[in-house]
Amino acid sequence: MKRFKQFTSFIISDFTTNVWTHPRHNHNHYELIFIEKGAGKHKINKNEIAYEKGALFLLGPDDSHEFEIENETRFIYCKFTLDFFKEDNELIAAESLPLYKTILDNREIRNAKIKLSKNDQDLLSKQFAVVSDLQNAGHRYERILFFQLISILEVLENYTSISEKETETQSLKRGMEPVLNYIHNNIYYPKNLRLSHLAQEFNTTKNYFGKFFKRNMKVPLREYLLQYKLQLIENRLSNGNYTKREIATEFGFTDESHLLKTLKKHPKSAKC
């Protein structure tokens, strides 16, 4: 699979096309994609989602995707890395940084079409229009672009709150969001997912963290890590763009045989 790499912290792209020419790919950055006009299908990881005018998608570094265009479509992209939210950024209040990072990694709105209200669609259409107009403005309007992105994320925050219809289990899981975000972002770094490291990261003891995780997620930490890793492996296998040897190396298995034995032992990964 092709991987697009971005070395600047913020890029805007605005184009209209009848034919999608990019192969399925992932990136080293986040993408907000707004559909200004058109219709078709957006294939994100294992999902195939119909899109139309006003649709909005949020993608992260681990997401692979491509579009299948049915009607001529205008795409407006905001591509940015986490460098955009540096701790020393004087334009953001320090206490707001965790909120924005949590929104970006929220699994409720990633890998799905964000169902915006009509008012929010109209608002975001105007915001993306401003972003598009300033795409070639250089550093002169950098602050304006920055605050447009922040405003868009503030709108998305409305789509990550707990609804009244959610079950107690769902609410507990959402309360685990910072922990799960950390785990998902470090799934390729086993040392960061040791119980001792997680306890230190979240300012508690190993014993308390292990019990806290199991109580809220209904599975032990070790089992959750395995099941989440198996889900990612399933995505790699279904895409057909990775060899089993590459997958084994990526996820820290001893070799291809070790990977195959694990898959045989756990034929169905749980939903995480």
pLDDT surpasses 80 at 221: yes
Q: How far apart (Å, rounded) are the C-alpha atoms in residues 201 and 41? A: 40
SS3 88: coil
pLDDT confidence tier of residue 61, bands split at 50, 70 and 90: confident
Average pLDDT over residues 242-248: 82
SS3 26: strand
Which stretch of 52-61, 73-82, 141-150, 217-226 has the lowest confidence by average pLDDT? 141-150
Q: So what's the pLDDT on residue 218?
A: 84
234 contacts: CB under 8 Å, gap ≥ 6: 46, 269
- The residue type at 60: G
Contact 82, 138 (CB under 8 A): no
- DSSP 8-state symbol, 87: T
Q: So what's the pLDDT on residue 232?
A: 82
CA-nearest of 34, 42, 32 to 10 is 32
Q: So what's the pLDDT on residue 5?
A: 39
Contact 244, 236 (CB under 8 A): no
pLDDT surpasses 50 at 163: no
pLDDT confidence tier of residue 20, bands split at 50, 70 and 90: very high
More confident residue, 39 or 29: 39
Q: What is the pTM of this model?
A: 0.57
More confident residue, 8 or 43: 43
pLDDT confidence tier of residue 112, bands split at 50, 70 and 90: confident
Which bin fits 16, alpha (ψ -120 to 50), beta or left (φ > 0)?
Answer: beta
Which stretch of 37-41, 64-68, 113-117 has the lowest confidence by average pLDDT? 113-117
Strands 25-27 and 30-44: unpaired
More confident residue, 144 or 92: 144
pLDDT surpasses 90 at 24: no
162: burial class by Cβ within 10 Å (0-12, 13-18, 19+)? Answer: exposed
pLDDT surpasses 90 at 175: no
Average pLDDT over residues 212-230: 87
Q: How far apart (Å, rounded) are the C-alpha atoms in residues 187 and 191? A: 10
Where helices occur in 83-117 by DSSP H, the ranges are: 97-104
